Structure 1
Amino acid sequence: MVENSGKICVSICAKTAREFLENVTRAANIDGVDVIELRFDCLDENELGNALEEIRRLRTKKPLLATFRPKEQGGKREISLSEREQFWHKLENSKTFDFIDVEHDSQFILSGVKARKIRSYHDFDGVPVNLNDIYEQLSANSDVAKIAVQADDICDSLEVMKLLERANAENKQLIPIAMGEAGKWTRILGLAKGAFMTYAALDDDRQTASGQFTAQDLIDVYRVKQLDENTTVYGLIGNPVSQSVSPEMHNAAFKFHNLNAVFIPFQVKNLDEFIARMVKPETREIEMNLCGFAVTIPHKQNIIKHLDFVDETAAKIGAVNTVKIIDGKLHGYNTDAQGFIEPLRNSFGDLKNAKVAIIGAGGAARAAIYSLKKEGASVTIFARNLHKAKSLADEFDVNLIEFSKAENQKPKTVFSDFDILVNATPQGMKGDFVNETPLFASQLEGLNLLYDLIYNPFTTK
């Protein structure tokens, strides 16, 4: 498959010269990495000189990018203006580096530096209103402009991608980045849209910016160098989405079948804004060939009002987990019900008259209740929020009991009369909920089967 012209840059950050060099060597050996960024601001001050000398002696065919970022602009330590100026003048006439990254506020005259200059701007609080002015300032006196903003919600990242469209039209080089979970999609699709470069971490625990993928994930999972304007885009919308393994599963299938397609995690807080600004053909502000998406918490019910068609099963459940975009129209489906009931049948057998307790009252609980009722099971919802759960219980004509995780609650007074217990809450899920549990181990005594709908992590607490 033909590759786009964008570059994958691995950022190296370490406190000692020895670790610094070891990580540079590791990055240089990764097939698919095009540039190695050396974050000299990460080094302890007394290690900086040693690292520079070692780098000068280093033999690697990979282009090197030098960065010396002060803390107020995302660097790892306090660096005075004079120290920054001294550092850059040390690099004058050096042939070691192919690129240098100089912050937007720097006024250094680096006439002797042979490397290509990246002029960068970072905003860790949000998206500035004068983004176009910043772009013009950066691109006027650099080879490449880099703009990184903080995205709290997915639509916050639209402005940097619109800037990329402008840069392409003006035949200028731009690195647009939306930091944070909500901006991850810009790191995946940027190269396909003409971005000069995207940044990656060496390992999961070596990120130099929020939302960074590892180089291996960008290369092997998302195949960002193979994506282009014709790539079919699918995704998962929800909040959170970091716990999902859907990108790994779907992208592995796309790769196996050699399809020009990618599956992306879209962290969406404001569903209405996302649908209007990024999905609906008549109102969307960006074209990315989005052809469908999976839906997870908390949007499985709220998505329905935005759909042009809802299949019978999804309508009966009152929740949608799959949306296909067909000729600009949004079609909603629910595959949760089938996905829930088949493993349960295989494990338990005939569910007719089985007594099933369900903890939770969201979209997953809806699909579970619908499936169990079709099988003839007797269902009881256990919920802390009775107001929310009552409408669900009334809708499906099932029992409702207020539930507490209190340690002194005896097992026999809770679940001893049930055959099956289903956890349909997000408690235990990777991310913010990973250390939570809906109940204590003592409350599981006497159960024939416990069905935890959390699949990541594999073992919950």
Structure 2
Amino acid sequence: MNTITVKGVTLGSGSPKIIVPLVGKNEVELVAEAKHLLTIDCDLVEWRVDFFNQVQDFQEVAEMSKKIAEILSDKPLLFTFRTKQEGGEIPFSDEQYFCLYETVIKSGVIDLLDVELFMDGKLVQRTINLAHEKGIKIVMCNHDFDKTPDKAEIVSRLCSMQEKNADICKIAVMPQSSDDVLTLLEATNEMKSIHANRPIVTMSMGQLGMVSRMCGEVFGSAMTFGAAKKASAPGQVPVEELREILKTLAL
């Protein structure tokens, strides 16, 4: 599997890298939260911009990204607008989504960009091309908050992300049973062993799936999401505990 390195953080080898969400609703909260994250033992930061109350002012978002990036300094910044259908905070049209992304690619400062798999194919490719021209890495993702698809479907979606030229391929699913957690881990292992030529990130959400957030080095998941103050998805483990667990499970 090829690795991806962003600001000295290498994804795809060794223990999963810890990424924490930034979920402030305004500039004051975001600045305070970003400064707090400098004291946290994490590797990357994800700005969940759908929490930002000025998200519909795209230029303001781009300016805010510069302020956050300046505070975070050497920590890579992943920019994410999570759509409502995949668990986000507010509804956005496709036009708004891609216009926001284009503005931030051109006028903001980010290192990685989250793009959802099941969006308009042509607009996705245009966005990926624009981001790559600026040296921004693409994290393509899919979330299922209701269920865990079967193993073949999980693998198929991850392979589809590779085919679309994502730099990192990510899927998160909701388990209804321990068998579902095993399905996610088996799909991850198959992807790593047979199909993946770039980093993949997988997780089974909620309390039931929490184990999947900790054993990525064994099965092949390159990143894991930890909670600093507020979690952005169910089942995220506090960062301090997560780092110790990853050290214990390191191969």
TM over 0.5: yes
Percent sequence identity is: 26
- Match of 1:137, as an amino acid? S
Shift of 1:95: 7.1
Q: Which residue of 2 aligns with 1:43?
A: 52
Q: CA RMSD in A?
A: 2.1
Q: Which residue of 1 aligns with 2:7?
A: none
Shift of 1:93: 4.1
Q: Are 2:104 and 1:91 equivalent residues in the alignment?
A: yes
- Structure 1, 128-137 or 80-89: larger mean CA deviation: 128-137
Q: Which stretches of structure 1, 4 residues or longer, exceed 4 Å deviation after superposition? A: 46-49
Query: Which of residues 183, 189, 196 in structure 1 aligns to 2:215?
Result: 189
The answer on whether the counterparts of 1:5 and 1:194 sit within 8 Å (CA) in structure 2 is no
The answer on whether the counterparts of 2:54 and 2:60 sit within 8 Å (CA) in structure 1 is no
The answer on whether the counterparts of 1:21 and 1:54 sit within 8 Å (CA) in structure 2 is no
Q: Deviations over 1:237-294 (max 9, x none)?
A: xxxxxxxxxxxxxxxxxxxxxxxxxxxxxxxxxxxxxxxxxxxxxxxxxxxxxxxxxx
Instruction: Pick closer, same or farther for the CA change 1:19–1:95 going to 2, 3 Å.
Output: closer
Q: Which residue of 2 aligns with 1:228?
A: 250
Instruction: Pick closer, same or farther for the CA change 1:186–1:82 going to 2, 3 Å.
Output: same
Instruction: Pick closer, same or farther for the CA change 1:226–1:53 going to 2, 3 Å.
Output: farther
Query: Which of residues 82, 85, 94 in structure 2 aligns to 1:69?
Result: 82
Q: Are 2:204 and 1:218 equivalent residues in the alignment?
A: no
Q: Are 2:157 and 1:148 equivalent residues in the alignment?
A: no
Give the TM-score of the pair, scaled to structure 1: 0.45
Instruction: Pick closer, same or farther for the CA change 1:46–1:5 going to 2, 3 Å.
Output: closer
Matches within 5 A, 1:127-276: 127-129=148-150, 130-141=153-164, 142-169=166-193, 170=195, 171-203=197-229, 206-220=230-244, 222=245, 224-225=246-247, 227-229=249-251
Structure whose alpha-carbon radius of gyration is higher: 1
Give the TM-score of the pair, scaled to structure 2: 0.81
Shift of 1:131: 2.0
- Match of 1:201, as an amino acid? A
Q: Deviations over 1:117-144 (max 9, x none)?
A: 1110100110123222212212222111
The answer on whether the counterparts of 1:191 and 1:197 sit within 8 Å (CA) in structure 2 is no
C-alpha distance in 2 between matches for 1:47 and 1:28: 28
Instruction: Pick closer, same or farther for the CA change 1:22–1:5 going to 2, 3 Å.
Output: same
The answer on whether the counterparts of 1:199 and 1:212 sit within 8 Å (CA) in structure 2 is yes
- Match of 2:250, as an amino acid? D
The answer on whether the counterparts of 2:46 and 2:77 sit within 8 Å (CA) in structure 1 is yes
The answer on whether the counterparts of 2:62 and 2:104 sit within 8 Å (CA) in structure 1 is no
Instruction: Pick closer, same or farther for the CA change 1:50–1:225 going to 2, 3 Å.
Output: farther
Instruction: Pick closer, same or farther for the CA change 1:47–1:16 going to 2, 3 Å.
Output: farther
Query: Which of residues 78, 94, 97 in structure 1 aligns to 2:91?
Result: 78
Q: Which residue of 2 aligns with 1:356?
A: none
SS in 2 for 1:118: strand
Q: Which residue of 1 aligns with 2:146?
A: 125
- Match of 1:209, as an amino acid? A
C-alpha distance in 1 between matches for 2:54 and 2:147: 30
SS in 2 for 1:62: coil
SS in 2 for 1:120: strand
Shift of 1:154: 2.1
The answer on whether the counterparts of 2:82 and 2:89 sit within 8 Å (CA) in structure 1 is yes
Query: Which of residues 32, 37, 54 in structure 2 aligns to 1:22?
Result: 32
The answer on whether the counterparts of 2:17 and 2:43 sit within 8 Å (CA) in structure 1 is yes
Q: Which has the higher helix share?
A: 2
Instruction: Pick closer, same or farther for the CA change 1:8–1:192 going to 2, 3 Å.
Output: farther
C-alpha distance in 2 between matches for 1:112 and 1:135: 22
Q: For this pair of structures, how many residues does the alignment match?
A: 222
Matches within 5 A, 1:56-455: 56-57=66-67, 58-59=70-71, 60-93=73-106, 96-106=109-119, 107=121, 108=123, 109-110=126-127, 111-113=129-131, 114-129=135-150, 130-141=153-164, 142-169=166-193, 170=195, 171-203=197-229, 206-220=230-244, 222=245, 224-225=246-247, 227-229=249-251
The answer on whether the counterparts of 2:15 and 2:216 sit within 8 Å (CA) in structure 1 is no
C-alpha distance in 2 between matches for 1:27 and 1:226: 23
SS in 1 for 2:214: helix
The answer on whether the counterparts of 1:21 and 1:51 sit within 8 Å (CA) in structure 2 is no
C-alpha distance in 2 between matches for 1:112 and 1:191: 32
SS in 1 for 2:237: coil
Shift of 1:55: 2.6
Query: Which of residues 2, 16, 32 in structure 2 aligns to 1:6?
Result: 16
C-alpha distance in 2 between matches for 1:23 and 1:71: 24
Instruction: Identify which of structures 1 and 2 has the higher relative contact order when contacts are C-alpha pairs closer than 8 Å and 6+ apart.
Output: 2
Shift of 1:166: 2.1
Instruction: Pick closer, same or farther for the CA change 1:172–1:163 going to 2, 3 Å.
Output: farther
Shift of 1:152: 2.0
Shift of 1:17: 2.1
C-alpha distance in 2 between matches for 1:20 and 1:104: 27
